[in-house]
Structure 1
Amino acid sequence: MGVKVKGIQQAQRNMNALINDIEGRKIVRALKSATIIIGSEAAILTPRDTSTLINSQYTELLPQGSKIIGRIGYTASYAAAVHNASGKLKGQPRAHFGRTANHSEFGPKRSVEFGGGTGVGNYWDPNAEPQFLLKGAVKAKDTVDAVMKKELKL
């Protein structure tokens, strides 16, 4: 005489739900770790003049359909321009770029500084580089790979 076992399908559904929940939490933790590691490496390479740029760095995780995307960025309005700059001024003093010509069509002749640097330190000092976010990600690749492997292990 055979024994009838009830609830096998329900037990399988519960087990699958538990595994999916564990995998989901592991993925979130792994991605958060990866964004922190990459952000830290990028921070080392981010230029600091007034610290506005470095203080504007953020990380976030975004669900997109069945995927979760980890994103690192900067909220400072000029972040993309600095990231994509050539770096040709690296090591040069943060001096103003000059003065306007000493003439005026209206009123007395005078020259005016038209901006540039703050006059403090050198451009891209001390460790900053153009493409700081991209280079930070490349530099962090091996560490991120190891963390992802560890975090996603069952």
Structure 2
Amino acid sequence: MPTRGGRQVRRNFSRAVKLIAGPLTDQVVTEILIIGEGYAVNLTPVDTSNLVNSRFRQITNTATGTVGVVGYTAAYAAAVHGGGPKNWQKAAAEDRFLERGFERDGRADIEAHITRSYRV
């Protein structure tokens, strides 16, 4: 008995792969960065608003995948992130606040977002 609809299945599969490899993944990575960055802002030390206002997001498509980067352009951001001066106004400031925003606090939300976004 011949199989029917093979061409349509291949066409729909190709569309799904192109969507996942292109705009969908860019959108998902951007939203992941926003989620993690939101958690990190709550842990960011606030002496002046310079550190918080110097945030940036960058998404790069490489041959092996899509890479998202969140960082700070303020010159002293690396020193503060690594456990710099403890005389910041915000008492809740933590060392490695950017990592903790993604890995500890935002991890469950990020995983749920990935599952929701790539559902077929």
Give TM-score, length-normalised by structure 1. 0.65
Structure 1 position 73, deviation (Å): 0.7
Counterpart of 1:44? Answer: 42
Gaps of 5+ in 1: 1-7, 93-122
In structure 1, the residue matched to 2:27 is 29
> Which of 27, 32, 54 lines up with 2:52 in the alignment?
54
- Cα distance change of structure 1 residues 130 and 124 upon mapping to structure 2, 3 Å threshold: farther
Matches within 5 A, 1:103-114: none
Q: Percent identity?
A: 27
Counterpart AA for 1:19: A
1:148 corresponds to: 114
For structure 2, the residue ranges without an aligned partner over 5 or more in a row are 1-5
**Distance across 1 between alignment mates of 2:91 and 2:15:** 49
Letter matched to residue 147 of structure 1: H
After TM superposition, the runs of 4+ consecutive aligned structure 1 residues lying more than 3 A away are 11-17
Q: Secondary structure at the match of 1:73?
A: strand
Report the alpha carbon displacement of residue 86 of structure 1 after superposing the two structures with TM: 5.2
Partner of residue 92, structure 2: 127
Q: Structure 2 length normalisation: TM-score?
A: 0.81
Q: Determine which structure has the larger helix proportion and give its number.
A: 2
How far did residue 18 of structure 1 move?
1.1
* Number of aligned residues: 114
Distance in 1 (CA, whole Å) between partners of 2:20 and 2:46 is 39
RMSD: 2.2
Larger radius of gyration: 1
